[in-house]
Amino acid sequence: MENPGLFTARDQPLGRTDWKKRAFTVGIGGPVGSGKTALVLALCKAMRDKHGICVVTNDIFTREDWEFLVRNKALPEERMRCVETGGCPHAAIREDYSLNMEEVKELTKKFQPDMVIIESGGDNLAANYSRELADYIIYVIDVAGGDKIPRKGGPGITQSDLLVVNKTDLAEAVGADLNVMQRDAALMRQGGPTLFTQAKHGVGIPEISRLIVAAYEAAVPL
């Protein structure tokens, strides 16, 4: 990889029509501890009354994130699956996404949901979803990593459909400048969508939900 990529040159959704075999798929990625699971929980709670949702989590050797979602009643347990990747998390969402694809198809066959949310295992800034797997891609970073993170780039930051900068309530405590992060995100993403959130407290969740639903409605015939 010679550069972090451009938002305007990112891979576009495939424009597929097999929605009854594989539901509209939202891929959520980001580093360990950025708040991906908290975001999935918040999105499920925000959208489950109006939309049929299923979830697939990814962990390397455990079922930690799946167990968290079950414990917090994100969805009925049978609508959530866990993939244990046993290796690099990014490989399971890009180079060899077969395990995730299988779970999405099985959930679609059983429940016919409007959408399936996949949460990747925590990974580095070079990780991003294959368009063969995800129709809408969200990448999550958090302010605890420092205000330098957006300008470090990487495909997740530059080429996701939506960049989420999470845990803004911690900015002062860790000395992160949100204005710097906003400026750098806009520069690295060529003005592509970026939202500043507190997933744990529900801040920004309605806005993310609206973007997901808009992408779903644009892709899937009513």
Which sign does the torsion angle of CA 145, 151, 156, 161 carry? positive
pLDDT at 3: 67
What does the domain layout of the chain look like in residue ranges? 22-216
Interstrand relation of 24-29 and 136-142 (parallel, antiparallel or unpaired): parallel
Which amino acid is it at 171? A
78's enclosing H/E stretch is none
**pLDDT means per 10 residues in the chain (222 residues)?**
77 91 97 96 98 95 93 98 83 90 98 98 83 97 95 93 98 97 97 98 99 98 84
- The top-level CATH class assigned to 22-216 is alpha beta
> For the whole prediction, is pTM greater than 0.75?
yes
